[in-house]
Structure 1
Amino acid sequence: MNINGLVRFIVVGMVVLLVISVGMYFLFKPSTTSPPNEADINAIYRVVGEFGARLKDVGLIAPDQDVITAMDFNLKQLITDRLYQAFVQDTSRIPGRAASSSPWPEGIEIVSVQRLDNGSYAVVGNQIMMDSDALAHGGNAGETPITLTLKKVNGTWLVDDVT
């Protein structure tokens, strides 16, 4: 092996070691996000529970102004200003009671809570529907998938999006 071949071998070896080192660093580096705070998770469950329980009091078959009034009374303190404005602009996006009698939304059963970043979480769940028969005999009248995004605003968890 001549000098040129030896130099080339050493350079290629150093590049391979450098690539392996950088790869190992990114593979094993500690996470930059902190683990979920138990108090935040409890607050999120509380907000989602209250939000779900109040949906039956937001009648969606009324005129738009009545729907907005019901939202103001029942949901406004649980949602961000951004979501409130989106609901006012398009009342068809407001979740609530779609029929005058049955079924009605009884609550939200949380399936999973996933951290999006330090200031928001995605909550995947099922909106539990109820009617008088299910109320009398147990069970429910169906479930509808629902996803909520919660955001921490001034130290309080609020619903920032509903799909």
Structure 2
Amino acid sequence: MYAIIPVEESNPWNSSNMRKLRIGGNIDKVELKTRYRRLKIRINSLGGNRMKKILSLALILLLSVSLFGCVKKSNETSQEKELQQKEEPQKAEEIDKETVADLVEAFGNQLQFVSLQGPQDIVKKSMQENYGDFVSQSLLARWISDPVNALGRLTSSPWPDRIEVLSIEGLSESAYEVKGEIVEITSADKENGRTAARQPITLVLRKINDHWLIDEVTLGAYEETNGTIYKNTEYGFRFFLPESWKGYEIMTDKWEGLASGDSENKDTNETGPMISIRHPQWTSQNQRQDIPIMIFTLGQWNALQQGKFHIGAAPMGPSELGRNTKYVFALPARYNYAFPTGYEEVENILKGNPLQPMESESLE
């Protein structure tokens, strides 16, 4: 549109005395011209050059204010559009971050429902049911084929209760990195509002088929916050103990297996390490029940189950506590046959499935 600005007092609407300015607002030129003519008639009727000059000046100021208002409105509209264009990506990013955080927290609540110690077909079904809405198909397939390195419940106590989100960083428009902690608790911790352990976790989420999904997971060092944990990196397991076992000792020995049917010469057929966790109050005068852990290779364990050799005279063999991709950890048969002091406490500890397998240093 064009606004018409009078430049001479005598006849401001004469075509030779007008100039046009392009602006962004809407000005009704006909309306302004009509009002000016009416005002001019009134000025002439009043008489007196001084009065005419005053009223002409007033008219010019009125037109200038109208023009300025339109220009100002145009500038404000342009600034609002620019601000809106800047705010829209920021709002979209905030929404994405909220969605990603909610997904990670919801996923963390599912960890306790996936037991990694069951038969492979049950573990697979449990992962599909509880993780299918949260992780990518490629990550889910890796976890199903290698449950030891998957997230889930390895022991009955403590168990993973949740994931606490600490930070979210954008990697691209379709990827975010989330850092947090897996919080593990026991029944007592749940009642008292405490935590048993924390483990740092880093997750990478990607937008796949217009849905945010967890595509990568990296775990940090396990941090005990309550109770006592024995960690064996050589063979790859953790063993959770009550606070009263703080200051325990580790005793090393070996188990021996005899070939089946070879009862005369007692030749040793198989052998392997055995680790015993000893209570801190154990003394030679007051011996307490140890927690013995036999360690088998997968081949040795399979041979034992097939009856190719046996251990000791007990009619039953060792009972499995857990396994990783190379070793099986087992409890000796009749380990507490003498009923020493503390055997009941050890039985209660073992009922909580305290052994948690992990990858050993020898596998790296």
Q: TM-score, normalised by structure 1?
A: 0.75
Q: Secondary structure of 1:125's match?
A: strand
In structure 2, distance between residues paired with 1:161 and 1:152: 13
Shift of 1:156: 1.3
Q: Residue 133 of structure 2 aligns to a residue in which SS? A: helix
Residue in structure 2 matched with residue 64 of structure 1 by the alignment: 120
Residue 88 of structure 1: how far off its partner (Å): 2.5
- Say whether residues 1:73 and 2:129 are aligned partners: yes
- Match for 1:133 among 188, 194, 216? 188
Correspondence for 1:156: 211
CA distance in 1, matches of 2:152, 2:145: 16
**Residue matched to 1:30:** none
RCO higher in structure (CA 8 A, sep ≥6): 1
Which entry has the higher C-alpha Rg, 1 or 2?
Answer: 2
Q: Quick check: 1:123 aligned with 2:178?
A: yes
Residue of structure 2 equivalent to 1:94:
150
What displacement does 1:122 show? 0.9
1:64: how far off?
A: 1.9
Q: What do the CA deviations read for 1:48-93 (whole angstroms, capped 9, x no partner)?
A: 0110000000001112221111101100111111212222332222
Aligned to 1:13: none
What per-residue deviation string (whole Å, max 9, x for no partner) do you get for residues 96-155 of structure 1?
Answer: 1110x2101010011111111111111111001011111111121111111111011122
> What's the secondary structure of 1:139's corresponding residue?
coil
CA contact (8 A) 2:109 2:161 kept: yes
The equivalent position to 2:138 in structure 1, one of 61, 72, 82, is 82
2:136 aligned partner, one-letter code? T
Q: Given that residues 123 and 144 in structure 2 are in contact (C-alpha distance below 8 angstroms), is that contact kept between their aligned partners in structure 1?
A: no
Residue number among 96, 105, 114 corresponding to 1:40 in the alignment: 96
- Paired AA for residue 60 in structure 1: L
Q: Does residue 114 of structure 1 match 2:169?
A: yes
1:143 paired with 2:171, answer no
The 2-side partners of 1:78 and 1:89 are apart by 18
Amino acid at match of 1:50: A
Unaligned runs of 5+ in 2: 1-88, 219-364
Aligned to 1:37, what secondary structure does the other structure show? Answer: helix
* Mapped partners of 2:120, 2:166: distance in 1: 32
Between the aligned partners of 2:213 and 2:107, the Cα distance in structure 1 is 10
Report percent identity of matched pairs.
33
| Number of residue-to-residue matches in the alignment | 129
SS at match of 1:79: coil
RMSD over equivalenced CA pairs, Å: 1.4
- The farther-off stretch of 117-126 and 36-45 is 36-45
Larger % of helix: which?
1
**C-alpha contact 2:113 2:152 (8 A) present in aligned 1:** yes
What is the TM-score when the length of structure 2 is the normalising length?
Answer: 0.34
Q: What amino acid does structure 1 have at the position aligned with 2:213?
A: L
Unpaired segments ≥5 residues, structure 1: 1-33
